[in-house]
């Protein structure tokens, strides 16, 4: 049995820092902070195994709205965090269909 490479807990892309704040067998939750704008938002997505590369896939733009969601509430990142946590918990209990 091969070990699947998990997603990084923290990584940077341009001015954004992605920090994993939730993970389970079905879903991931990342907090994204932008150092240029001080904006904080969240990305929640289903766990997708990429068998070709033996890793977990981080969603691309095409995934959002299908198996990944971006949650922002403007300057109210507390409400965005609450909404992201709720979605993460909902995805956590939903069994994935292959």
Domains of the chain, residue spans: 10-93
pLDDT (tens digit per residue) in 28-79: 999 999 999 989 999 999 999 999 999 999 999 999 999 999 999 888 989 9
pTM above 0.75, yes or no: yes
Q: What is the pLDDT of residue 75?
A: 84
Q: What is the pLDDT of residue 54?
A: 95
Contacts of 9 (CB under 8 A, 6+ apart): 19, 20
Residue 98 predicted with pLDDT over 50: no
Q: What is the pLDDT of residue 3?
A: 87
Minimal CA–CA distance to 59: which of 32, 35, 80? 32
pLDDT, average across residues 17-25: 97
């Amino acid at each position: 049995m091969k070990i699947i490479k998990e997603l990084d807990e923290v990584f940077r892309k341009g001015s954004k820092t992605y920090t994993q704040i939730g993970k389970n067998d079905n879903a991931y939750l990342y907090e994204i902070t932008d150092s240029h704008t001080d904006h904080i938002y969240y990305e929640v997505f289903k766990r997708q195994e990429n068998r070709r590369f033996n890793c977990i896939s981080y969603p691309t733009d095409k995934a959002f709205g299908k198996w990944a969601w971006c949650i922002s509430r403007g300057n109210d990142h507390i409400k965005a965090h609450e909404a992201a946590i709720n979605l993460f918990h909902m995805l956590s209990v939903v069994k994935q269909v292959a």
